[in-house]
Amino acid sequence: MTDTLQAGPRPRLNRARVLEAAVALADEIGIESLSMRRLAQELRVVPMALYKHVANKEELLDGMVDVIVGEIDPPAADADWKSGVRSRILSARHTLQRHPWARRAIETRTAMTPRVLDYMDSFIGVFLAGGLSLDLTHHAMHALGGRMWGFTQELFEDPAAPAPAVTDAERGEMLRQAAQRYPNVVAIATSVTHDEGSVVGHGCDDQFEFEFALDLLLDGFERLHVRDWTSRGAKAAR
Partner DNA sequence: TCGATAGGAGTACAGTGTACGCCTCGTGGT
Partner DNA sequence: ACCACGAGGCGTACACTGTACTCCTATCGA
Applying CB under 7 A, the residues found at the interface with DNA are 12-14, 33-38, 45-49, 51-53, 56-58
Nearer to its own copies, 94 or 176 (CB): 94
User: Minimal distance in Å, beta carbon 55 to DNA?
Assistant: 7
CA dist list (Å): 167 to 114, 163, 171, 198: 22, 11, 6, 17
Q: Which does 56 bind (CB under 5 to 8 A by kind): its own copies, DNA, none?
A: DNA
Q: Which does 215 bind (CB under 5 to 8 A by kind): its own copies, DNA, none?
A: its own copies
Nearer to its own copies, 67 or 213 (CB): 213
User: Minimal distance in Å, beta carbon 49 to DNA?
Assistant: 4
Distance CA 90, CA 35 (A): 31
Query: Under a CB-based contact definition with an 8 Å cutoff, are residues 169 and 158 in contact?
Result: no
User: Minimal distance in Å, beta carbon 1 to DNA?
Assistant: 11
Q: What is the largest CA-CA distance in the chain?
A: 89
User: Minimal distance in Å, beta carbon 211 to its own copies?
Assistant: 7
